[in-house]
């Protein structure tokens, strides 16, 4: 069992080269709402060539911040089409996981929202299964409410092959949960994992420094992931405006070195 250390990168050849220069072999794309899926489709041949040249692998492709459900509780067909096309790209590029979310519609009841989310996620998981790609929901609140335990206990039971993309910082900052307890309870359903540092003092959010220079108990996190036999990707997510330029580049190097010491190579 070996976890794979990688990083979120832009979906282009120059970023692939940069990832390789960092000594990493895995990367993730977050191709969010507003980005034309057709543009990414056109880049696939060049990306494949770059992967072969630099010995890289795509660990995950995801789409944040896109509404999937309309005001009447129906699946938005354009969003469903984008989802299918992105899963096709994930399969073509060899990514094992596609990450998505589902928006909450205020005009609907909680039950209707759950039914709508389950309908969309069942279709998405079924399509992913056809293409050999697993589907996970992200635990961020960006156009998504399927992000915490009370919803997961319902939706994951209704969609048994659905997984979670977990990021401790969202648990800490969005719904003030216990990230270790969430990993312990749902670790068997975690398909993808983000390494994003976050720092809060006396209840106030201070910054999101590089993972390893923050307050997250990363040793316990990795210990739990080993206990859950997680063997997916650990994707570094540089996030802070404080950490840009030369300092940001150093921060990425620090995080790489920090986690490499905790990764079993057997």
Q: What are the domain boundaries of the chain? A: 4-260
Q: Does domain 4-260 have CATH number 3.20.20.150?
A: yes
Give the mean pLDDT of the chain. Answer: 97
User: How large is the average pLDDT for residues 185-207?
Assistant: 97
User: How large is the average pLDDT for residues 26-47?
Assistant: 98
**Rounded CA separation 74/91 (Å):** 27
- pLDDT digits 0-9 by tens, 88-123: 999 999 999 999 999 999 999 999 999 999 999 999
Check if the beta carbon of residue 173 is closer than 8 Å to that of residue 194: no
Nearest alpha-carbon partner for 83 in 40, 141, 140: 40
**Rounded CA separation 177/182 (Å):** 8
Residue with tokens 């079993």: 264
Check if the beta carbon of residue 256 is closer than 8 Å to that of residue 34: no
pLDDT tier, 265 (very low <50, low <70, confident <90, very high otherwise): confident
Nearest alpha-carbon partner for 89 in 133, 23, 150: 133
Kindly report whether the global pTM for this prediction surpasses the value 0.95. Answer: yes
Nearest alpha-carbon partner for 40 in 90, 98, 76: 90
Residue with tokens 């335990």: 149
């Amino acid at each position: 069992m070996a976890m794979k250390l990688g990083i979120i990168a832009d979906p282009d050849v120059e970023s692939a080269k940069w990832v390789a220069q960092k000594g990493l072999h895995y990367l993730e794309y977050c191709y969010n709402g507003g980005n034309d899926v057709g543009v990414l489709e056109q880049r696939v041949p060049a990306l494949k060539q770059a992967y072969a040249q630099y010995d890289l692998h795509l660990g995950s492709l995801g789409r944040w911040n896109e509404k999937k459900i309309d005001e009447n509780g129906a699946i938005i067909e354009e969003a469903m089409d984008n989802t299918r096309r992105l899963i096709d790209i994930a399969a073509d590029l060899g990514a094992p996981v596609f990450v998505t979310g589902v928006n909450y519609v205020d005009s609907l009841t909680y039950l209707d929202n759950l039914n709508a989310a389950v309908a969309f996620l069942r279709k998405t998981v079924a399509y992913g299964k056809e293409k050999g790609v697993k589907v996970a929901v992200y635990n961020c609140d960006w156009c998504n409410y399927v992000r915490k335990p009370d919803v997961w206990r319902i939706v994951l039971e209704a969609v048994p092959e659905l997984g979670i993309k977990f990021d401790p910082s969202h648990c800490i900052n969005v719904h003030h949960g216990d990230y270790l307890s969430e990993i312990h309870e749902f670790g068997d359903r975690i398909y993808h994992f983000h390494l994003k540092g976050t720092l809060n003092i006396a209840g106030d959010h201070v910054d999101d420094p590089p993972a390893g220079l923050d307050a997250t108990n990363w040793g316990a996190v990795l210990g739990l992931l080993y206990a859950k036999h997680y063997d997916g990707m650990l994707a570094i997510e540089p996030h802070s405006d404080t950490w840009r330029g030369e300092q940001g580049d150093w921060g990425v190097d620090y995080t790489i070195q920090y986690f490499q010491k905790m990764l079993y190579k057997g």
